[in-house]
Amino acid sequence: MGRVFEGHTNALLLIQQLATAAQVAGYAADARAGRLFGVWNTENPVDGVHLKDLPNGRYRLRGAKTFASGAGQLARPLITGALPHGQGWQLFVLPADAQPPALDRSFWQPIGMRATASFRADLTGLKIGPEDLIGPPNAYYQQPAFSGGAIRFAAVQLGGAEAAFDETRDFLRSLGRTDDPYQRQRLGEMAIMLKSGRQWLRGGAENAARPSAATPEGAEATVAYANMMRTAIETISLEILRLAGQPTAAVLASDGTMSHPSWVLFSAPARQAVRAAEFRHALTILGADATEPMLLALSDGGLPDGPNKPGFTEAVARLREFLKCQQAATVLVP
């Protein structure tokens, strides 16, 4: 549930930074009343969210968001949508308790992330007014806030690593093996890495909070530190999983092209190449044979979810053969 809480925190932070005083007060009251917020940004460009002009500054929505975490639970999702006439991307808050989007719960069903309720949310036909718009166009993508958000989700990832450490320690304790010198060394290495991760997070927070962090001169350094920190936390988390006793062979199902698809600085092939490189780097850290991963390269956000969908039969056949060769005893679908 850390992923949902991070989205709630991110949405409220963006509102505090970009909204009017009246909006901040109103949404703060919503939060105090227990209404859950989140951020929905990812979409398939083919049917992404667009705002269509209506009288009196209102808009009718068309399109959908994918990987909409907390779908069906969020009362106030903060959403990006394309303005008419190429005016850019606009943040807005959807009053989802009054205007619930249509959810496709079959869109994404991973075991490890099921509790996040990350579905496809179709907003077509819903309406918003000027009071729902947050900040000026393209404000969401301003640096260093956009890339600096890595600090938050890295904290969630480190929390998962700490949980793996706790489970490993408790398991060894149940076996009466915590006095074994080799197991003590193993736990000690994990504890050192967790301490290092906490130091990285503290450094990231201090770096982002310095007075010059958001200035044009300081933004580049802020983003660079956030990227260093997220890489360090990823390395630490994967190494802790390895020490927890999880030898890994891996499959990358999607091609990664739907990661921030609206970011014009990186084309779809570039995003795919970055995703594959990150995947191989992670495998190297885990100790898996980086020359043997399977890259299915299926369409990100459009994986075939049934036998009647194009590519489904071929993907299943390739996966079946891979699992057979690996003699996998456990399959984790995160």
Q: Find the angle CA(316)-CA(282)-CA(201) to the nearest 5 degrees.
A: 130
Instruction: Measure the CA–CA gap between 148 and 201, rounded to whole angstroms.
Output: 12
Question: Where is 244: in which H helix or E strand?
Answer: none
**Residue 245: predicted pLDDT:** 75
Q: What are phi and psi of 294, to 5 degrees?
A: -105, 125
Task: Please report how the helices 150-174 and 181-209 are oriented relative to each other, as an axis angle in degrees rounded to 10.
Answer: 160
Per-residue pLDDT of the chain (334 residues; tens, 9 = 90+): 777 888 899 999 999 999 999 999 999 999 999 999 999 998 988 899 999 999 999 999 999 999 888 888 999 999 999 999 889 999 999 999 999 999 988 877 665 566 677 889 999 999 999 999 999 999 988 888 888 888 888 998 899 899 999 999 998 899 888 888 888 998 999 999 999 999 999 998 888 888 888 788 888 888 889 999 999 999 999 889 888 875 556 788 887 777 766 666 678 888 888 888 888 787 776 555 444 677 888 887 777 878 888 888 888 888 888 877 766 655 656 5
Contact 221, 139 (CB under 8 A): no
Instruction: Measure the CA–CA gap between 28 and 210, rounded to whole angstroms.
Output: 25
**Residue 217: predicted pLDDT:** 81
Order the strands of the 102-104 sheet from edge to edge: 64-68, 119-122, 102-104
Question: Where is 149: in which H helix or E strand?
Answer: none
Contact 39, 10 (CB under 8 A): yes
Instruction: Measure the CA–CA gap between 220 and 226, rounded to whole angstroms.
Output: 10
- Buried-state track 210-242, b at ≥16 Cβ within 10 A, e below 16: eeebbeeeebeebbebbeebbebbbbbbbbbbe
**Residue 218: predicted pLDDT:** 86
Q: pLDDT tens digits, residue range 145-186? A: 888 888 888 998 899 899 999 999 998 899 888 888 888 998
**Residue 193: predicted pLDDT:** 96
Q: pLDDT tens digits, residue range 291-334? A: 467 788 888 777 787 888 888 888 888 888 887 776 665 565 65
Instruction: Measure the CA–CA gap between 165 and 192, rounded to whole angstroms.
Output: 11
**Residue 75: predicted pLDDT:** 94
CA distances from 97 to 62, 76, 265, 278, 321 (A): 18, 8, 36, 38, 46
Question: Distance from first CA to last CA of the chain, Å, rounded?
Answer: 14
Instruction: Measure the CA–CA gap between 80 and 83, rounded to whole angstroms.
Output: 9
Pairing of strands 102-104, 89-93: unpaired
**Alpha-carbon dihedral sign for residues 241, 242, 243, 246:** positive
**Residue 87 burial class via C-beta count within 10 angstroms: exposed 0-12, middle 13-18, buried 19 and up:** exposed
Contact 237, 190 (CB under 8 A): no
**What pTM was estimated for this model as a whole?**
0.67
> Which residues make Cβ contacts (< 8 Å) with residue 6, sequence separation at least 6?
152, 153, 155, 156
